[in-house]
Amino acid sequence: MNRPHPAWPVAELDDLRRLRAVHAAYPGSRLTETNLPVPFAESWPVLSDLEREFPALVPDIRRLRVLAADGERLQVHVLGRSGLRGRFDAVLRDGWCLMRNRFLVFGMAAVPDGEYTRVGYLAGNVLPGNRLLAPLLAPARRRIGRRVTANLHRRFS
């Protein structure tokens, strides 16, 4: 692997900043952030329980099953309430979860913020012409973002 020249600046990104960078790479995706009133050590074990907790937090997900795991890399099957179904390649590690297939991307990141946890949730399409679809999908994405935030606060209140 190529290493940068030692004189070059290196930016260290926490997981939430990394999720913001992923958001910038997917035009029309929606990133929602909030503070949870619990420490990271209490929130992340719940957030990273993809099979039980993710469907309760994300309105369109009916069921998520982990099909295979190899360290932090997972293959999951998602069944959505709106008819979505598909396999996703996922990476799950402390403070970070990113799931992607040919059409969709989901992400979650959490970082300690004093006594609280700062959490971000990302959802978007991975489609050619997504910039054209973004204005049409924006109201639904905002609604879903608000519901995920409300579900997070309900879960951790």
pTM score of the predicted model: 0.88
Domains of the chain are 15-155 (3.30.530.20)
| Predicted local distance difference test score (pLDDT) of residue 2 | 67
C-alpha–C-alpha distance, residues 33 and 74, integer Å: 24
Nearest to 119 by CA among 110, 131, 128: 110
On average, the pLDDT of the chain sits at 91
Structure-model confidence comparison of residues 67 and 157, the more confident one: 67
pLDDT per position as a tens digit, 93-148: 999 999 999 989 999 999 999 999 999 999 988 877 777 777 777 788 888 889 99
- Position 1 confidence tier, pLDDT thresholds 50, 70, 90: low
If you average pLDDT over residues 59-74, what whole number do you get? 96
Query: Using one digit for the tens of pLDDT, what is the confidence trace for 17-57?
Result: 999 999 999 887 899 999 999 999 999 999 999 999 999 99
104 touches 86 (CB < 8 A)? yes
Share of the chain above pLDDT 90, in %: 69
Please check the confidence at residue 8 and state whether its pLDDT lies above 70: yes
